[in-house]
Chains A and B, each alone.
Chain A
Amino acid sequence: MTKSIWASAGALALAFLTTQGAMAQDAKPVRGGILNYGVAGGPHTLDCHAGNSFAVTHHLGPHYSTLMKTDNRNYPNTIGDLAKSWTISPDHLTYTFKLHDNVKFHDGTALTSEDVRASFQRIIDPPAGVVSAWRSMYADLKSVEAPDKDTVVFKMSAPNSGMLSIFGSPWACIYSAAKLKEDPKYPEKTVMGTGPFQLVEHVSGSHWTGKRFDGYFRPGLPYLDGFKAIALSSTALINALAGGQIDAEFRGVTPADQQRIQASRGANIRFEQAEGMGLFMVSFNTKVKPYDDIRVRRALTLAVDRWGGIEPMSRISTLKYVSSFQRPGAPDALPKAQLEKLPGFGRDIKAARAEARRLLAEAGVPNLKFTLINRGPDMPYAPFALYLIDQWRQIGVTVDQQVVDTANWAQRRTSGNFSVIVDVTGDWGEDPSFVMARFLSSDTSFNNPTGFSDPKIEQLFQAQKLEFDPAKRTQAVNVLENYIVEQIFTMPVFRTVRLLPFATKVQNYPVVPVHNWLGDVSEIWLKP
């Protein structure tokens, strides 16, 4: 009883504080102060072009600019960062960008179009020894030119309706062309960009500090004097938030952590949330019997009560939404009515399970048994797998769970050493050409581990990629998504929430779904 009173009081306080937080966003920004935030992991590289995890962007993000960027106030629109304006040729094969003319690197040298050209050239055609983790994303890019010091021209080999947002990738940091000429690997050793903060110190495994760059090209920004990113283990991060040692964390916490932190910090903390980009799925190895039989895969997706499970799941984990491949709130997401017609997303679980049993019997595996490979021990992999196992038990399927660490999981996933595996995406952007690319046939997409191939998927993918009319493109994306969900080589189940804690003094950080991008730290300010 006491517990429930406290819980209700906490919820009311939370609602109040969230509103207060939102109201404070409109107040007049104040200059100064240091933002201390936690990061659960250190960067494995100092080179954005080689990075792929939040641990890289949450450290490097404040030091670099990109050509374009996602608009966190009007998400998921793309706006210019270094680009002041841009034009796209009618055939969508030429993108011309005009750059801001007052941009300086942290060493005082002026940025020119050559720096942008050299940086993109490094991504699409990396010199020997340079890792370009996102090269494949720019496959449609033919060349980059710098006809004058303020203009960059990108020539495409094929049109791509998602290209503008791809230019806003947080990994496409702009480096100094002169320094790249001296040493193409300099970004691995030196952090020197045109971003709002200069690097002061990096103590491996401990902390990373930045100070305001007075030559930053956006007038009056950044508001903060500096920031300190503190490396913390997942448990220590929650303790540090509860103890007030850090002011924020930008990846997200669980509802249980939220309660603990709230109980400790009271009015000094607020939480804001958005639909997350983490999609939890199950992938089947379609080269292994009986998962080569679509009836078996269909039975396994039909058995999972997504709508019934999400509410209890959201109380104990970061999983909060029933979702297909596109985020439910994304511009091109399947309409709910259409989604509910897809296998596994229906509301009548009794009928779905009866159908699942019939399909398994028809496929000759009424008492199917298998081992589910799960990635552990991080949240929310464990509750997700346990829920699935229970759901499958209800149609007579027996599942053993094998929990392996990330290295083992990644190796098994890419080598096809599994029958059924818990799978996840955590994309940095919303454009369907990017989000859906990993679900192309296995012989086309190196990121589809299921061995499933169907040329129709490529045709539908190309159709949406070549469609520039927004309404028609949404239709084309819906057709593609519908088709992929129907093939059930990978079954989407639940999506995460991005629940961010902020000390109440932290202002002006609109929460967006993507956790792999830090967002615009230059606009954060601290209430005195």
Chain B
Amino acid sequence: MLTYVAKRLLMTIPTLLGAAVLIFFMLRVVPGDVIEVKLRGDGASVTQDVIDAERRRLGLDKPLPEQFTSWIAGLTRLDPGLSMWTGKPVVDEMSVRLPLSIQVAVMGALIATLIAVPMGTLSALYRDSPIDYLLRIFSLVGLAVPAFWFGMVMILLLLWLFNWLPPVIYTPFHVDPIANLSQLIWPALVVGIRYAAVVARMVRSSVIEVMKEDYIRTARAKGLAEKVIIIRHAMKNAMLPAITVIGLEFAFLMGGLVVTEQVFNLNGIGQLFVQAVAHRDFVLVQNIVMFIAAVFVFTNLAVDLLYAAIDPRIRYR
């Protein structure tokens, strides 16, 4: 098992390096740079010598391979550099936003799991019944409705019905749980419902598959209660593919809350990413992408390890 984990961890190095090369060079072909936006975006009277000096200061005048190696060398020292837009350390810019993004992702995942597992199971057990049709419609709607639209409708409804909107400034849970939840429950619901739709479909098809297995028939033949068969025998096995989806969706949420964060004005990693792209803050974009890539890689690893914990037949070498 340890060898397997070590191998997987080693494999992350070329994966992340590949992501680094891709993002670094792709960013450089996008027209415009941070200096233009910073000093000329609002049409200020900034002379070319000021632009050139600032470009030199940020190292944008250096050859691309030199810029790349300097960034990677910094990463190996756990120093991702300074934001080209604000001049603050990238670590500071990201760490301010990370708790919010993690909390929304965790809450979204919890809401999704709480909705999807019973929903998918019920749908499978009452296959082709009105309950199944109803739950399938729910999951299809969840998949079809874009998160930004759902978010906007939710905001408008809150304003219209209660003349109230969620707080616009993030308060950590340990400081004020009510203020924290009254801000984050809404985006968590928006992402959680879409996420639930994806997971519920997977749970449904897995449960249908598992319920056809021989060991389920054997359990029934032994006279076990249907509840015991479902919970103890069917669900444990049906959960394996669902865990993969839950894991991947969680990783997606960590970096993919771009639209939801915009709609709810959440100061998270997704919003930071959008701003960094608009500002052509190459250093910040590179590091956010690397962070998201790392989250994906490590979430996958965690999912694989969880497989082994749930299914004793799976052993990694």
Q: Write the residues of chain A forming the contact surface with B, with a CB cutoff of 8 angstroms.
A: 42-45, 52-54, 129, 131-137, 188, 203-207, 230-233, 235-236, 239-240, 242-246, 264, 404-414, 423-426, 437-438, 446-447, 516
Contacts and interface: CB of A to CB of B under 8 A. Distances in A.
B39 A239 contact: no
22 contacts: A53-B42, A54-B42, A136-B46, A204-B86, A204-B88, A205-B96, A205-B97, A232-B168, A232-B265, A240-B165, A240-B168, A240-B265, A242-B159, A242-B165, A407-B41, A407-B280, A409-B32, A410-B32, A411-B32, A424-B43, A426-B42, A446-B48
Interface in B164-202: 164-165, 167-170
A133 B267 contact: no
A414 B54 contact: no
Contacts of B163: 243-244, 264
A407 B279 contact: yes
B85 A44 contact: yes
Given A52-B44, A245-B168, A411-B36, A129 B96 contact: no
Contacts, number: 144
B167 A446 contact: no
B15 interface: no
Given A44-B85, A245-B165, A406-B278, A52 B46 contact: yes
Contacts of A246: 168
Interface string B151-166: 0000100010001110
B64 to A, nearest CB: 17
A207 B155 contact: no
A54 B278 CA distance: 17
A52 B39 contact: yes
Contacts of B96: 203-206
A133 B159 contact: no
A207 B48 CA distance: 33
Main secondary structure of the interface of A (DSSP, over half): mixed
A188 B57 CA distance: 14
Nearest to B148: A235
B263 interface: yes
Interface centre among B54, B169, B279 (most CB of A within 10 A): B169
B187 to A, nearest CB: 12
B37 A407 contact: yes
A447 B57 CA distance: 22
Contact of B164 (A131, A205, A243): A243
Interface residues of B, number: 50
B31 interface: yes
Nearest to B265: A236
B114 interface: no
B253 to A, nearest CB: 19
A409 B37 CA distance: 9
A205 B45 contact: no
A188 B86 CA distance: 9
Q: Which 5 A-B pairs have the closest CB atoms?
A: A407-B32, A236-B265, A243-B165, A52-B44, A410-B36
Given A231-B267, A414-B40, 7 more contacts: A131-B54, A135-B47, A136-B45, A136-B47, A206-B96, A230-B168, A407-B41
A414 B88 CA distance: 27
Given A205-B96, A446-B48, A410 B41 contact: yes
A518 B38 CA distance: 19
Contact of A411 (B31, B45, B93, B267): B31
B244 interface: no
Contact of B43 (A131, A407, A447): A447
Contact of B31 (A244, A245, A407): A407
Given A233-B265, A243-B159, A411-B36, A129 B57 contact: yes
Given A236-B265, A407-B36, A411-B36, A437 B45 contact: yes
Contacts of A204: 86, 88, 92-93, 96
Contacts of B30: 407-408
B50 interface: yes
B275 interface: yes
Interface string B266-297: 01000110010011100000000000000000
A438 B37 CA distance: 18
Contacts of B53: 131
Given A136-B47, A411-B32, A205 B275 contact: yes
A245 B182 CA distance: 14
Contacts of B169: 206-207, 230
A233 B278 CA distance: 13
Interface in B79-112: 85-88, 92-93, 96-97
